């Protein structure tokens, strides 16, 4: 399987598939949900190691744009925090779109954990 993936990667740029969209309800309010997500997003590497690495992330108010490496493939996405839910949208490369349903379930589970598990406020928050 790895050889087939490497052959696909060597062919050049891979078309993006439909985005994976996850909506996670919460009762935290916008400010607290954003604070928890910022703290959780910062710790994502310690949770997933080298399989998922955040390359860039930029928060603008309650909106996050990010670029990450997932299983060696570059992906982009965004997070929007609302008063009662969080919406995550990730553009997966074609090869990763084959795992989209599993990825969606994983993102949903991790997002809920970030929102449910209180984190200590950081300086300046």
The residue count of the chain comes to: 125
**Does residue 115 carry a pLDDT above 70?**
yes
Q: 28 has which bridge partners?
A: none
Query: Within a domain: residue 10?
Result: no
Q: Is position 107 within any domain? A: yes
For residue 46, the model assigns a pLDDT of 54
The boundaries of the domain holding residue 34 are: 16-116
Listed range (9-13, 16-20, 29-33) with the worst mean pLDDT? 9-13
Q: Is residue 9 part of a domain?
A: no
Res 39: pLDDT: 85
User: What integer best gives the mean pLDDT of the chain?
Assistant: 78
Residue 41 contacts residue 54 (beta carbons within 8 Å): yes
- CATH code for position 72: 3.30.530.20
The verdict on residue 51 lying in a domain is yes
Condensed to tens digits (0 to 9), the pLDDT of residues 30-82 reads: 999 999 998 887 776 555 666 777 788 899 999 999 998 877 888 899 999 99
């Amino acid at each position: 399987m790895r050889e087939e993936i490497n052959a696909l990667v060597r062919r050049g740029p891979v078309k993006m598939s439909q985005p994976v969209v996850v909506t996670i309800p919460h009762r935290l309010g916008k400010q607290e949900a954003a604070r928890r997500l910022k703290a959780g997003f910062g710790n994502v590497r310690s949770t997933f190691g080298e399989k998922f690495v955040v390359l860039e992330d930029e928060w603008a108010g309650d909106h996050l744009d990010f670029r990450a490496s997932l299983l060696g493939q570059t992906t982009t996405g965004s997070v929007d925090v609302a008063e009662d839910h969080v919406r995550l949208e990730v553009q997966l490369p074609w090869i990763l779109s084959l795992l989209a349903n599993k990825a969606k379930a994983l993102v949903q589970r991790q997002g809920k954990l970030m929102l449910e598990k209180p984190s200590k406020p950081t300086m300046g928050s």
